[in-house]
Structure 1
Amino acid sequence: MALIVSHYHADHVYGLQEFKRIGAKIYAQGEGRSYLSSETSKQRLIASRVDFAPWVNADTRLIAADVWIDQKIKLTIGGIDFFISRVGPAHVPEDLMVYVPSEKVLFAGDLVFRGRIPFVGNADSKGWLIALDEIEKLNPSIVIPGHGNYSVKPAEDIAFTRDYLKYLRESMSKAAINMDPFEDAYKQADWSEYDGMPLFRAANRMNAYNVYLSIQAE
């Protein structure tokens, strides 16, 4: 049994110990080791055991991969080829995507969002836009995102994710470069296209602020 970790965000890896228990071989991109050894990952797990109890509890552990991937590899399971490759740094430094050419199906992790505001976090938004171009070149018929239903119109969902990231960068760039206050830039931006979408209130302000900071660091 093979289990491929798209990236080491808590909501994607807190169940790994259960798959390990039944004998799965875990594959992940090598940059995931940095997350596992970070103080952030340890503190987040401690907090999650409180905030998300009983689903996250004392039995929840951070699990390292059995195979750390640093270049494109092919797994053949049941006669089906799965091509695993790094794409990024983008959403996170260790993004992986899995393409099944015989079915034209792409497992995109959190690189493509549909029907909801993307979670940007500490993403490399510039690298993420490049990653979306790579995904688009594959021309998949179906994209399986990290959250929500599968996409049967990948071009639309890729475009939605790209347009959102581009707008974040466009609306934050001038203020970030000129060291103008974030609050002013956020208030001046027109969010009408995204206001009302799921997770707008929870994520949009944080997304904009993180892009504002990341542009200053570029």
Structure 2
Amino acid sequence: MRKVLLLLPLLLINLSFSEDYPKHVKETLKKIKDNVYGVFGAHEQVSYENRGFISNAYFVITKDGVLVVDALTTYKLGKELVETIRSVTDKPIKFAVITHYHTDHFYGVGALKEVGSVVIAHEWAYDYVSQPSSWNFYEARKKLLKEHMEGTQMVEPDITITRDLDIHMGRLKIEVRHFCKAHTPGDIIAWIPALKVLFSGDIVFDGRLPFLGSGNSKSWLVCLEKILELDPDVLLPGHGSPMLTKDRIRDRVRWTYKYIDDLRKTIRKMVEEGQDIDYVRENINDALLEIDPSYAQVPVFFDVNPVNAYYVYFEVQNELLEEGQ
């Protein structure tokens, strides 16, 4: 049987909330463990008011230099990230590991390239920057963020991986790994075994609802199980607060798993009942709230959940077609 072709429109959500936004990335700087630091964006979608600062970035200081994980949403924010690192150390910023090529994680990488960083990402990054839809999104971001986007370019990585890469800096080994498709086709994590610190990118979410529009929700569940197998002491997500205890890590990983699993099972039931995409999008919020009313307290649930349902609907439809072959 033929598969349903996923020619999905780019769905943009622009939400903003009333809060005092930091004037500089440095205002959010936190020392997490030993020589591991992070800066932390707002728990919301990109808006002009928040300057696009909605994601996290991290850096690790070693004897040989600095390794950065993710680069924020604009060149200007990337410059602020470099300035923040320079407020802590003058060691060379040697590597920038981009956990996935979404705009809020790699648009700032040009600022890191300017100071000599080697940019590492999954090879899917090349696919992303070559797609017309990515350039359409870039133009939309320029219109939304206006002067905040000045200097921002879509920069390709210097080194790409499809599976594993080990980086040795001083006495530390940083393991860069691609487990499977999850949030995007090109998710990678960075794992420091000696510190038991894991940089998860957007495979694990905290403080807001996951976005399921680029990767694969079924294999995402497998990735979450593999993260639990690593048994980190510290998990640093792409969005939200650092997870500093094993109980907190297990809770957030299992919560991410539960949301995706609840959504998939609910949509599968609707598809099996013959419901179309419009019905699913209109009713998915109520359906999930019947399963777990606490979803109503999750930031951006009411806006992002129907978008997630749109993409998962077609995933599930294809899965059912394959099962019927």
Q: Which interval holds the TM-score relative to the shorter structure?
A: over 0.9
For residue 253 of structure 2, what is the aligned residue in structure 1?
A: 158
Q: How far apart in 2 are the matches of 1:55 and 1:78? A: 36
**CA distances 1:125-170 after superposition (whole Å, capped 9, x unpaired):** 0010010011110011111000111112211110000000000001
Q: 1:207 aligns with which of 280, 283, 308?
A: 308
Structure 2: runs of 5 or more not aligned: 1-93, 320-325
Task: After TM superposition, list the pairs within 5 Å mapping 1:1-218 onto structure 2.
Answer: 1-57=94-150, 59-152=151-244, 153-185=248-280, 186-187=283-284, 189-191=287-289, 192-218=293-319
Q: List structure 1 segments (4+ residues) > 6 angstroms apart after TM superposition.
A: none
How far, CA to CA, are the matches of 2:133 and 2:233 in structure 1? 37
* TM-score normalised over the length of structure 2: 0.64
CA drift at 1:52: 1.2
The one-letter amino acid of 2:254's match is: A
State whether residues 132 and 162 of structure 1, in contact with CA within 8 Å, keep that contact through their aligned partners in structure 2.
Answer: yes
**How many Å apart are 1:184 and its aligned residue?**
3.8
- Aligned-residue offset at 1:183: 4.4
Post-superposition CA distance 1:159-200 (Å, at most 9, x none): 000000000001100223454123444256132230121111
Structure 1 residue 70: deviation in Å? 1.9
Which range is displaced more, 14-23 or 48-57? 48-57
Number of residue pairs the alignment of both structures matches? 217
Q: Is the 8 A contact 2:262 2:288 kept in 1?
A: no
Aligned in 2, Cα 1:69/1:190: closer, same or farther, shift over 3 Å?
closer
Question: 1:33 Cα deviation (Å)?
Answer: 1.1
The unaligned stretches of length 5 or more in structure 1 are none
Larger radius of gyration between Structure 1 and Structure 2: 2
Question: What are the Cα deviations for residues 64-123 of structure 1, in whole angstroms up to 9, with x where unaligned?
Answer: 110011221110113211000112211100000010111111000000011321122233
User: What's the CA shift for 1:47?
Assistant: 1.0
Contact 2:207–2:241 under 8 Å retained in 1 = no
Amino acid at match of 2:295: Y
Cα displacement (A) at 1:37: 0.6
RMSD of the TM alignment (CA)? Answer: 1.4
Identical aligned residues as a percent:
30
Secondary structure at the aligned position of 2:147 is classed as coil
TM (normalized to structure 1)?
A: 0.94
CA drift at 1:210:
1.5
Alignment partners' CA distance in 2, 1:190 and 1:8: 29
Give the letter for the 2:152 counterpart: T
